[in-house]
Amino acid sequence: MSTLSFHDVRVRYGSHTVLDDVSLEVADGQTVGLVGESGCGKSTLARAAVGLAPLTGGQILLDGRPVPNRGRRPVQMVFQDPYSSLDPRMTVGESLAEAMPERLGRTARQAEIARLLALVHLDAARAADLPVRLSGGQRQRVALARALAARPQVILADEITSALDVSVQGAVLNLIRDMRRDLGLSMLFISHNLAVVRYVADQVAVLHNGQIVEFGPTAQVLGAPRHDYTRHLLAALPGAVPLKEQM
């Protein structure tokens, strides 16, 4: 695994600046949580790292070299909506095989598919199923397995649990923690849910209006926030402070 670093990344659409000189480092084997409100540029940062959003300025480096934005990316992304991220016409096995870096023989391919499915705690028999036969949580596991199939150096997870039911969310979060422990993955974990980020991330970056306003170890940022906006976010959590209009 490797280090992904954003240097003064700027993304602009027309006159609208989405990301304004964002610098951030996802260190080797670390999970960095990225939090902020919708529209603050969280997803754009991830999309820029895989070449889906054009940079207006700055650069994104993987171990000191620019991330290639054609061909197979060494940085893989998992998306929010598990119902949109799998091709409905391809079986789970075909989707995984497509992401593999080298063309394998039939038996080697099947073994690799079984290995990947086992990594995400799915039965190897699922390889023959079409996505329509899977639940949301199972689809999201397949999406994770597909990202792993490309043998990435860094994984970007963009709100991967927010479309899932709470009981399924727990299983996916456990999986993320297992994978980091077993595979030593470097990961940028994007979420608007502070409790979820607290559970999986080593470090947290707070993004507000296209700028990183606070970055540091999770316990420090969420336990003793220094920036007003972080405090504002924490205070808004349900149960954090009693509703002031409560009867």
Q: Which residues bind other proteins (CB under 8 A)?
A: 37-38, 50-52, 70-73, 75-77, 79-81, 84-90, 95, 98-99, 135, 143, 146, 150, 165-167, 169-171, 173-174, 177, 192-196, 198-199, 222, 232-234, 236-240, 243-247
Q: Toward other proteins, which CB reaches closer, 8 or 89?
A: 89
Least gap, CB of 83 to other proteins (angstroms): 9
Q: Toward other proteins, which CB reaches closer, 51 or 58?
A: 51
Q: Toward other proteins, which CB reaches closer, 21 or 145?
A: 145
Least gap, CB of 84 to other proteins (angstroms): 4
Least gap, CB of 141 to other proteins (angstroms): 13
State residue 140 phi and psi, 5-degree precision.
Answer: -65, -30
Q: Toward other proteins, which CB reaches closer, 213 or 234?
A: 234
Least gap, CB of 34 to other proteins (angstroms): 15
DSSP string, the chain: ---EEEEEEEEEETTEEEEEEEEEEE-TT-EEEEE--TTSSHHHHHHHHTTSS--SEEEEEETTEEPP-SSS-SEEEE-S-TTTSS-TTS-HHHHHHHH-SS---HHHHHHHHHHHHHHTT--GGGGG--GGGS-HHHHHHHHHHHHHHT--SEEEEESTTTTS-HHHHHHHHHHHHHHHHHH--EEEEE-S-HHHHHHH-SEEEEEETTEEEEEEEHHHHHHS--SHHHHHHHHTSTTTS--TT--
Q: Is 120 exposed, middle or buried (0-12, 13-18, 19+ CB in 10 A)?
A: buried
Least gap, CB of 87 to other proteins (angstroms): 5
Least gap, CB of 136 to other proteins (angstroms): 8
Q: Toward other proteins, which CB reaches closer, 22 or 196?
A: 196
Q: Toward other proteins, which CB reaches closer, 8 or 165?
A: 165
Pairing of strands 211-217, 203-208: antiparallel
